[in-house]
Amino acid sequence: MPRKLRILMSTMLQLEWRITNSRSLRRIPDLEGLGSRTDIQAKKVGADWPPESCACDVPAHTYQFAWEPNTRWSKFYAPAPEICEYLNRVVDKHGFRKYMRFNHRVVHAEWKEESSIWRVELQTTNDAGHLTTVIRECDVLVRDVGALNAWKYPEVEGLLNFKGVLMHTAAWDDSVDLTGKSVAVIGNGASAVHCGENVKLHAYGFVDAATPVFRRRDTQEQMERFENDPEYYFEYRRKLEINLASGFEALWRGTAAQDQIRDTTINHMRKAIKDEKMLRALIPDFEVGCRRFTPGDHYLNALQQDNCDMISDHIVRVTETGITDVTGKTRDVDVIICATGFDTSYEPRFPVIGKDGFSLAENWGMDKPTESYMGAMVARFPNFFVFNPPICPVIGSAFPGIASTSHYIVRLLDRLQHDALKSINVKDSAQARFNEWAQHRMKEMAFSGNCKSWYKNTKGKVFIPWPGTISHFVATTEFIRWEDFEYVWEQGNKYASLGNVVTKLGLVPI
């Protein structure tokens, strides 16, 4: 008989997981999900979703579940609340909410070798409003926290002593009325691009690095046809995916495609930016693709309005009333908005203890090895699976990579269920060889160029993106290299799953 598995998960990636499971392996009878974040006590789906000013930098028609297409995206690059609404609609349509436990915070997870279970400690608030501890045990633990949710302020002297309003783009305070305020936006990455257009007042834009900015397009007139002609919408999405994938060729350093996309980008920015000083500050001197592509004509337009001053001089300190740059000039402001990104070091938010007491924090974190295997597992952590770990697809839509990882994990669980296994774990040697391959390929990519990027650690090691296309990742994870794993058998004999030599059909000959 198949083994009944208790599976503990976190956050919203279980949506793709559940569809993959229900369509391909209906034999897993007990799939227990935990819908919460690890360091935020989420009270609902998307409770910590970014504000209205934020939008996705991937075309909305590709940023969705393949099995639940949305024909009514309002913009080519959908705003965050609209994506959140879409996810909630999917949850309710497919009845996923009943599997979710909100307002839970994971504080500790530890593998128990003697019983082959994970013991997970969580904190939640009971009906009386008191903080309580909940202990759960599971056969399989799935970590799907992601890398872009632990926002951080920049390390600037005096920032926290600012007496005005201080906020981060990922922790937006909707109660703050920006009308008539003097506002400083610190940063020039994707977050700044998305919020810059919405700060329609006197603004200072403190630019810390150049960013390649691409044309941003909106589509609304086609929505009726998308809704009424599913084949047309499917073909539209297919061609859009092909078009996006074709641009990946330019991410190889020293290629004609890299030269072409750089020329195209610079020519576009030259046409969009009239001020030469601003142009020099914004055009990158590194390979296009070293930092993440940013669609934002609206941002370039906002920077050139009369109510905005772009400042490329480095910030020295923040006073109680404003910002002082390296020239010594201080600009008093009412509000400081930090568009300065996230902690992408993969430093675990809570202890995860694996085999022989090995902590995930010994592998993952700032300037540590920060390695995983096939975007799905980590050595020394039996029955432990991960979504979006180091070396995974982050260029383009996240959904195809999540779907492929789901399919990969489910096939491993099928083996765990049916082959009398207590645990399955990737070998140290396999993980090491895989990461050697990844780093070797990374040298050829624009990711390794001379830029400051969240793809890298402080030593210049590129440890986040998959060194290839999404389709390459999909093809790679279609094949499971079973020799890369360590197995612990329930009865010590790997053939115990053969049972009593009689099938369910009995003695009926085939």
Closest CA to 71 of 57, 82, 81, 56: 82
Which pLDDT tens digit goes with each residue over 148-201?
A: 778 889 999 999 999 999 999 888 888 888 888 999 999 887 777 767 555 554
Two tokens, residue 27: 């034999």
Which pLDDT band, with edges at 50, 70 and 90, does 3 fall under? confident
Q: Tell me what pLDDT residue 482 has.
A: 97
Q: Judge if 7-45+100-150+345-496 and 159-338 fold alike in CATH terms.
A: yes
Which single residue is written with the structure tokens 């990844």? Answer: 438
Whole-number Å distance between alpha carbons of 463 and 64: 26
* pTM exceeding 0.85: yes
CB distance 68 to 16 below 8 Å: no
Q: Which residues contact 284 (CB under 8 A, 6 or more apart)?
A: 209, 210, 211, 212, 290, 291, 451
Phi-psi region of 249 (alpha: psi -120 to 50; beta: other; left: phi over 0): alpha
pLDDT beyond 90 at 332: yes
Quick check: helix, strand or coil at residue 440? helix
CA dist 168 → 25, 199, 340 (Å): 42, 13, 8
Two tokens, residue 506: 């009995």
Which pLDDT tens digit goes with each residue over 6-53?
A: 888 865 454 454 445 544 433 443 444 333 333 334 556 665 555 555
The one-letter amino acid at 371: E
CB distance 86 to 70 below 8 Å: yes
CATH number for the domain formed by residue range(s) 159-338: 3.50.50.60
The one-letter amino acid at 430: A
Q: Which residues contact 389 (CB under 8 A, 6 or more apart)?
A: 346, 372, 375, 376, 378
Closest CA to 171 of 192, 155, 150: 150
Q: What is the 3-state secondary structure (H, E, C) of 273-323?
A: CCCHHHHHHHCCCCCCCCCCCEECHHHHHHHCCCCEEEECCCEEEECCCEE
Two tokens, residue 244: 């996006």
Two tokens, residue 490: 């329930």
CB distance 348 to 146 below 8 Å: no
Q: Which residues contact 16 (CB under 8 A, 6 or more apart)?
A: 65, 399, 402, 403, 406
Distance, first Cα to last Cα, the chain: 20
Which single residue is written with the structure tokens 């990922």? Answer: 170
| DSSP bridge partners of 487 | 424
Two tokens, residue 302: 């906002």
Q: Tell me what pLDDT residue 35 has.
A: 32
Q: Tell me what pLDDT residue 69 has.
A: 93
Whole-number Å distance between alpha carbons of 182 and 332: 8
CB distance 318 to 159 below 8 Å: yes
**What's the CATH number of domain 7-45+100-150+345-496, 2.60.40.10, 1.10.3720.10, 3.50.50.60, 3.20.20.70?**
3.50.50.60
Lowest mean pLDDT among 303-307, 311-315, 424-428, 502-506: 502-506
Supply angle C-alpha 296, 298, 302, rounded to 5: 120
pLDDT beyond 90 at 301: no
pLDDT beyond 50 at 379: yes
CB distance 382 to 116 below 8 Å: yes
Whole-number Å distance between alpha carbons of 121 and 110: 9
Domain parsing of the chain, residue ranges: 7-45+100-150+345-496, 159-338
Whole-number Å distance between alpha carbons of 298 and 287: 23
Which pLDDT band, with edges at 50, 70 and 90, does 348 fall under? very high
